[in-house]
Amino acid sequence: MTRNHLSELTIHEAGERLAAGEFTAVELTEAVIDRIVAVDNDVKAYLTLTPEKALAQAAAADRARRAGRADGESGPLLGIPLAIKDVLCTKGIPTTCGSRILEGFIPPYDATVIVRLKEAGAILLGKTNTDEFAMGSSTENSAYFTTHNPWDLTRVPGGSSGGSAAAVAADECLGALGTDTGGSVRQPAGLCGVVGLKPTYGRVSRYGLIAYASSLDQAGVLTKDVKDAAILLQAIAGHDPCDSTSMDVETPDYLTALDGGVGGVRVGVPREYFVDGMQPEVEAAVRAAVDLLAGLGAEVREVSLPHTEYALPVYYLIAPAEASANLARYDGVRYGLRVDGGGLIDTYKATRGEGFGPEVKRRIMLGTYALSAGYYDAYYLKAQKARTLIRGDFDRAFEQVDVILAPTSPTTAFRIGEKADDPLQMYLMDIFTLSMNLAGTCGLSLPRGFDGAGLHIGLQVMGPAVGEGQVLRVAHAYEQATDWHTQKPPLHEERV
């Protein structure tokens, strides 16, 4: 098998073959770096690459494996090269959040999820592109450049974790971390034809995840198949005393949760998620997936999430309100960019004026407005009340069903530039994902085949709080019955 082929492996395939001694972590990492060199000029998934550090970690993983062989101890991530969204702090490695305002910022510590990956022996290849401060659905809001969809380089990869999704789809890593505040793991996973899992709020530590909207943010995983999502989630999930919102509950064994099929599993189809204006091929594909699961023994029933229509306005009040507070810390004094304006206040203004891009400024203004004295009750407080109703919808639905199936996004990947000047059209890309962040529940997107233009359609499997096990099980059953996840983008034929 050539080096290029090594980069195509899933985490579990590579893990088995590393354990069998077929190749070393250094060889695997070299193969993935070769792949990045071959395709990333076109895909532009990475903001920062750290090949020397990655190769040193790989050599250490190989030593650990040789030492561990005697007592049989090597976890599934030992020697596995991964990519990290550039909103997660990495000690000694630039972390920009896709923003000029954090240019030159080098975190003095690792996010807890990074600590856990390192402890598991994973190799970190670099940091992936994102919409500025994770605000966006296409990576076009990155201050640096736009990432391209590996399936069609003229199209967006989705966002905001578009760099991570594209890197996984283009075999520029074996798996990746992203973050999801309103859909930013699931939506790019759907548009790039990979698996993306957003865990329950609190399931994974947010310590070192640079805050966008703290009551909604959650780190998640992007992988080539469902089993890999279980492996990566297992590594990063669990209580963290450094994050007071992380859940103090035991983490189940997600790998054993994969098996068992869907016989007798109750699958809900929400009436409100098949709306006018969505791409007809997306609706047909999701309905066909429901039929397939029914054929495998799932009990399908319609459910209602009656407050769905409020999710978008509620999200676009709460998320900017929290962002306006969280982003107050970028003042030109403590981190990254400083533009000297003469005095202190003018330095704040000059730094923030130059350092933030237009979408971030829009959100700060929206959020500040919604929180301001005369408007708080009318906007922020009302949004919080509506959020409670949305959460109640999910509570009631999950009394009747184990999982809910829906499209991940209303359309497949759009062209770069197509929605860039129309924020509302861009916001609508998250119509099916952001309710779950408001409710704090979990969900996963997996490949559900192609539209007429050869672009991936994402199938979303939503679960209740701490329902990752049942979500993974249903997704795995669907994946085992189909072969969408084994398809590779045309980039491969052109480049290999």
Residues lying near ligand GLN in the complex (CB under 6 A) are found at 134-137, 160, 180-184, 212, 319, 430
In the chain, count H helices and then E strands. 18, 11
Q: State the Cα–Cα distance between residues 363 and 385, nearest whole angstrom.
A: 21
Contacts of 141 (CB under 8 A, 6+ apart): 98, 131, 132, 135, 159, 160, 357, 359, 360
Residue 217 has phi, psi (to 5 degrees) of: -65, 140
Catalytic residue among 74, 184, 205, 324: 184
Structure tokens at 459: 């199938």
Q: Quick check: is 184 catalytic?
A: yes
Catalytic residue among 44, 85, 227, 419: 85
Nearest by Cα to 116 from 205, 33, 187, 53:
205
Q: How far is the CB of 76 from ligand GLN (least distance, A)?
A: 27
Closer of 45 and 298 to ligand GLN (Cβ): 45
Q: How far is the CB of 405 from ligand GLN (least distance, A)?
A: 21
Closer of 210 and 229 to ligand GLN (Cβ): 210
Q: How far is the CB of 434 from ligand GLN (least distance, A)?
A: 7
In the DSSP assignment, the letter for residue 142 is -
E strand intervals along 189-313: 195-198, 219-223, 266-270, 299-303
Catalytic residue among 74, 99, 160, 246: 160
Q: Quick check: is 85 catalytic?
A: yes
Strand (E) or helix (H) holding 286:
helix 280-295
Contacts of 483 (CB under 8 A, 6+ apart): none
Q: How far is the CB of 257 from ligand GLN (least distance, A)?
A: 25
Whole-Å CA distances, 49 to 46, 67, 267: 7, 29, 42
Q: Quick check: is 214 catalytic?
A: no
Closer of 400 and 425 to ligand GLN (Cβ): 425
Q: How far is the CB of 159 from ligand GLN (least distance, A)?
A: 7
In the DSSP assignment, the letter for residue 379 is I
Closer of 168 and 319 to ligand GLN (Cβ): 319
Closer of 57 and 326 to ligand GLN (Cβ): 326
Q: What residues act catalytically?
A: 85, 160, 184
